Chain A
Amino acid sequence: MLNDQHKGKSRRIKEQWIKAIFFIVAFASISVLALIVIFLFMEGLPIFSKVSVKDFIFGHYWYPTSEPPEFGIFPLIVASLSVTMISSLISIPLGVFTALYLAEVASRRLREWVKPLVELLAALPSVVIGFFGMVIVAPFLQDFLDIPVGLNLFNASLMLAFMSVPTICSISEDAIFSVPRELKEASLALGATRWETIGRVVIPASISGISTAVILGMSRAIGETMVVLMVAGGAAMIPASIFDPVRPMPASIAAEMAEAPFRGDHYYALFATGIALFAFTLIFNLAADYISNRYRQVGASTL
């Protein structure tokens, strides 16, 4: 009896220890994140004593090293958004249709081969994709379309699409594959064709997973640095066509941070650009969260 009591006590202590360790681990990763955000704002906000928030966000000229300097990141924001939009137009159909094919149409053996291959695309370092875009795709675009420069919005979007397809495909495929079997069987039993089943049962049932996949793919595209640094061309102007060079926010930060005088206005302006970028990715992630909760499929009956 004494022994049992002792055992119970030591178990409780052990339990509390484990709880404490888990708490510390979880707290550590969250606090590191919080510190980074605090740092970002501390280093970025001082620029707004020199330029107003409105001039910073809607200013059309980015001349951080001129005398006097101009810190307008509107062309950079437009570049980031347009690159993300165009790459999504390419990557969403590719990613979602590949996922549908793999989960619903392809044979089990083919699926086991192709899915890892698509996921391998995600393992390609972005610098490799960037180099490919710079050395192979850019000269090809120049010659094929007879445009002045191959390092442009379209090339960058194409390369970013390559990077988002694996994310979109892999997560959508998981969502589609986990649609309950009885739903599909019921649909087929009612006489629906395979295509009707996919369009009216499988996609609605997995839409929350597919949306999450799409938004995660897009946030990967908007935050990607190396590719846009290498292939977007880097001209800080508002593009008039999709074959104009652009300068997305991450490229600007990466290219200039190294040479910006420490805690000078240019340095603060680059961190403030980082805040803008952070705001965009945060919006994307909140949207993904909202959509995946809003359209969550709870059991088969809610369809």
Chain B
Amino acid sequence: MKTKSLIIIAVIATIFFGANLALAGNLVITGSTTVLPIAQKVAEAYMSQNPDVKISISGGGSGEGMKALIDGTTNIADSSRFIKDTEVKQAVDKGRYPVPFAIAYDCIIPVVHPSNTVVNLTVQQLKGIYKGDIKNWKEMGGPDKKIVVISRDSSSGTYEVWDEKVMNKEKVSPAALMQASNGAIVQAVSSNQNAIGYIGIGYVDNSVKALLVNRVKGTAETALNGTFPIHRALYMFTDGWPKGDTLNFINFMLHPQKGQKYVKEEGFVPMY
């Protein structure tokens, strides 16, 4: 009886410490679902070049990433927004110093159903639609149909960019439909002729029609040179200036021929 329980304890202990040892060579990345596809692609490439490093990646959102960084449960926090003052304060209280690295640009594109005849909208018109002042497509030269306004959830990073660049801090109408992901917006817009939504440039496909904004097409060039009005930077945050594997990974991420190549492949705009 006693020996048996000793053996069990020994086995559990081995599993426990074994797991801890394995964690030592590991890199944990968590945070924004917008950054997730980039992080995944880059991590795969990095691991195939450095087989001794294991990288585990999860989404959950920018807020979750920051929380993990503050709690010290991640090496890198992905974020589709800059760190908030409240988060900086919490981090400093815990003796952590978040360091931002801008890794890519994200360009937010308004989209409509492919059958919609409207081609261009101004930022003012977009704001009117999302505020609920403009209610019918005929006001923009489209058919006499009620506009179905689809927005991202108010806590998503994509919404924050929209809020800042388009709404100019005015409120999106409560009648707007809220969808929890870029994919859900594409799905909802592609199945509704009267809908308008907005998504990251990497999610635009043939099932929806991308609109021009102020007569500018949203592309990598127009986002980088600033002529397309709705764009934002994506970040990776580390605790203090990165060291060891974390530093190597960030360097890999920012390298024009390495990490940045995958940024482009995933449909985002590379920084370098």
Stretch at the interface among A40-48, A50-58, A178-186, A255-263: A255-263
Contact present for B188 and A259 (CB under 8 Å): no
Complex CA gap A255/B155 in Å reads 8
Contact indicator A234/B86 (Cβ below 8 Å): no
Q: Tell yes or no: B153 within 8 A of A by CB.
A: yes
Tell me if A254 and B180 are in contact (CB < 8 A): yes
Task: Kindly state the interface size class of chain A when it binds its partner.
Answer: 35 or more
**B90 touching A263, Cβ below 8 Å:** yes
A64 contacts chain B at the CB level, 8 A cutoff = yes
Contact of A259 among B62, B175, B179, B184 (CB under 8 A): B62
Least CB separation from A244: chain B residue: B175
Q: Is the CB of A149 within 8 A of B177?
A: yes
Binds B, one of A116-124, A134-142, A165-173, A295-303: A134-142
Flag if A235 contacts B175 (CB, 8 Å).
yes
B154-192 residues at the A interface, CB under 8 angstroms: 154-157, 159-160, 163, 169, 171, 174-180, 184, 187-188, 191-192
Chain A 133-165: CB-based contact to B (< 8 A → 1; otherwise 0): 011001100100000111100000000000000
Chain B residues numbered 122-167 whose CB sits less than 8 Å from any CB in chain A: 145-146, 148, 153-157, 159-160, 163
Contact A262 B70 (CB under 8 A): yes
- Residues on B with C-beta less than 8 A from A234 are 153, 177-180
Chain B residues near A235 (CB, 8 Å)? Answer: 174-178
B39-63: contact bitstring with A at CB < 8 Å (1 yes, 0 no)? 0000000000000000000011111
B254 is an interface residue with CB less than 8 A from chain A: no
Q: Are A135 and B155 in contact (CB under 8 A)?
A: no
Distance in angstroms between the alpha carbons of A45 and B64 in the assembled complex? 21
Q: Is the CB of A247 within 8 A of B178?
A: yes
CB distance from B116 to the nearest CB of A (A): 14
Measured CB to CB, the closest approach of chain B to A49, in angstroms, equals 15
Partner among B66, B160, B171, B178 whose Cβ is within 8 Å of the Cβ of A255: B178
Taken together as a complex, chains A and B put the C-alpha atoms of A229 and B153 apart, in Å, by 11
Instruction: Assess the B155–A259 pair: CB atoms within 8 A.
Output: yes
Q: Does A95 contact B (CB under 8 A)?
A: no
Instruction: Report chain A residues within 8 Å CB of B66.
Output: 261-262
Return B222 CB to nearest CB of chain A, in Å.
27
Contact status A149-B195, CB under 8 Å: yes
Query: Which B residues are CB-close (under 8 A) to A259?
Result: 61-64, 153, 155-157
A151 to chain B, nearest CB (A): 6
Which A residues contact B (CB, under 8 angstroms)?
A: 61-67, 75, 134-135, 138-139, 142, 148-151, 229-230, 233-237, 245, 247, 254-264, 266-267
Q: Which residues of B contact A (CB under 8 A)?
A: 33, 59-64, 66-67, 70, 84, 86-87, 90, 145-146, 148, 153-157, 159-160, 163, 169, 171, 174-180, 184, 187-188, 191-192, 194-195
Q: 16 extra interchain contacts, Cβ-Cβ under 8 A, other than A237-B175, A259-B63?
A: A63-B171, A66-B154, A66-B171, A134-B184, A135-B191, A138-B192, A139-B192, A229-B180, A235-B175, A245-B175, A255-B180, A257-B61, A258-B33, A258-B59, A262-B66, A267-B63
In the A-B complex, the 10 residue pairs with the closest CB atoms: A258-B61, A234-B178, A262-B67, A259-B155, A237-B174, A256-B155, A259-B61, A255-B153, A255-B180, A233-B177
